Amino acid sequence: MDGLTHPIEYRYYTPEMKAIFTEEAKLQRWLTVEAALARAHARLGNIPWEAAEEISRKASTEYVKLERVKEIEKVTRHDVMAMVEALSEVCEGDAGKYVHLGATSYDIVDTALALQLRDALNVIEDRLKELLGVLLDLAERHKETVCVGRTHGQHALPYTYGMKFAIWAWEVRRHLERLREVRRRAVVGKMSGAVGTMAGFGEAGPEIQRLVMEELGLEAEPVSNQVVQRDRHAEVVFLMALVAATLEKIGKEVRNLQRTEIGEVYEPFFRGQVGSSAMPHKRNPWRCERLCGLARVVRSNVMPALEDIALEHERDLTNSSVERVIIPETFILVDFMLSEAIKILRGLEFNYENIRKNLELTGGLIMAERILNELVKKGLARQETHERLREIAVRCWKEKRSFREELLKDPVISSVASPEEVDEWLRPEGYIGSAVRLVEESVKELREFLHSS
């Protein structure tokens, strides 16, 4: 732990994503691109096959050590050139003189970044699929768990927990669809030289770029300057911010439902866990709060990603320092947040007694809409009946009266509705509309989507 300064290094990370963004992993991707470039030159007869094979053999961190690259960089003050020199010096014979032939630094950097983005997006995709599966399990399990629905923080109508989870599940599906679109536009490399004209490769430039990208499994930037255009990368960061916002939404909902006054749902609390250093009774929703907090960091990275788009002329260096920070940070944090959200949702605890208590907290006032509709069916005028029910509801709320009794005392209402009918109209389970069907259809469709992905 000594020497670590950023929490993504020691606290907010998963091993899978962190491994993609280590310095050594980045170096290896640079070397992989250099090897592909050498082989493309050899296929076109620009360099000897033996040289390309030697470069390819040595283009590995097994031979090109990160420590050596850093040592050279202290002199060159140029990280890519340090890598080129380090690779050249481990190549036997005269193969070293063909390393990086015709390329500019960002041919290597941006193409390697495309490889990095592809790997990182694959990890995010797997996490999103896992999250979707967890949400579908919860939606199916709780499709008939009736609770109070809240709008503006106030009790509104009966609702179900299954619908809550189904809504989140559809949002996750949209992220998966967005990811596949973004990956097509973002996993793009280039091999076009200092200002994009491919002059350093002569007439063979387009073919060299095609061969390199084909071997690496990347799309090529059709026309570039010195860099792959940054709208592509900004879109990736924005996608990650959207995912983080969904996780924040989930975390905020669980936090609110865990409030002492509500107490319907709780994030997992493990044996020996401490809620507060001062108050032994506390059970704080700290994991959900952490999701909400980290979402702010991820969201803040969207603005610099957008500002990276408008580079000067054929490029300047203002994007480089920004991307060294925001791309690893964004991916590592979002991956960690997804992993945490999956664990939270898998371990959710439900207090069914409180769910029922809150459902009945208003003494049936949340059923006023149903009663209005039923009375209109009985022949009463809609607007007049709405006002009548509003007055009754206000009186019940202010004077703590029974909504049922006030309904039956009203001469107009009691003239068309029996006590048995009113009792049925006041039953929350009888007024959840198509909730169960909507959840069942959503689960079916989303499971098919998941299985076909």
- With beta carbons less than 8 A apart as the criterion, state whether 250 and 167 touch: no
Catalytic residue (choose from 6, 78, 276, 402):
276
Q: How many CB atoms lie within 10 A of CB 99?
A: 26
402 catalytic residue (yes or no): no
Rounded alpha-carbon distances, angstroms, from residue 262 to 148, 251, 253, 305: 11, 16, 12, 40
Does domain 7-98 sit in CATH 1.10.275.10?
Answer: yes
60 catalytic residue (yes or no): no
Rounded alpha-carbon distances, angstroms, from residue 337 to 16, 89, 122, 306, 334: 13, 42, 16, 23, 5
**DSSP assignment letter at 155:** E
Q: How many CB atoms lie within 10 A of CB 316?
A: 12
Domain locations in the chain as residue ranges: 7-98, 105-268+282-358, 365-425
**DSSP assignment letter at 379:** T
What type of residue is 349?
E
Q: Which CATH superfamily is domain 105-268+282-358 in?
A: Fumarase/aspartase (Central domain) (1.20.200.10)
To 10 degrees, the CA torsion angle through 289, 292, 295, 300? -100
Does domain 365-425 sit in CATH 1.10.3720.10?
Answer: no
Q: What is the pTM for the complete model shown?
A: 0.94
Catalytic residue (choose from 152, 281, 313, 451):
152
Rounded alpha-carbon distances, angstroms, from residue 47 to 81, 96, 435: 20, 11, 68
To 10 degrees, the CA torsion angle through 402, 408, 409, 415? 160
What is the full per-residue pLDDT of the chain (453 aa) written as tens digits? Answer: 578 889 999 999 999 999 999 999 999 999 999 999 999 999 999 999 999 999 999 999 999 999 999 999 999 999 999 999 999 999 999 999 999 999 999 999 999 999 999 999 999 999 999 999 999 999 999 999 999 999 999 999 999 999 999 999 999 999 999 999 999 999 999 999 999 999 999 999 999 999 999 999 999 999 999 999 999 999 999 999 999 999 999 999 999 999 999 999 999 976 555 555 555 556 889 999 999 999 999 999 999 999 999 999 999 999 999 999 999 999 999 999 999 999 999 999 999 999 999 999 999 999 999 999 999 999 999 999 999 999 999 999 899 999 999 999 999 999 999 999 999 999 999 999 999 999 999 999 999 999 998
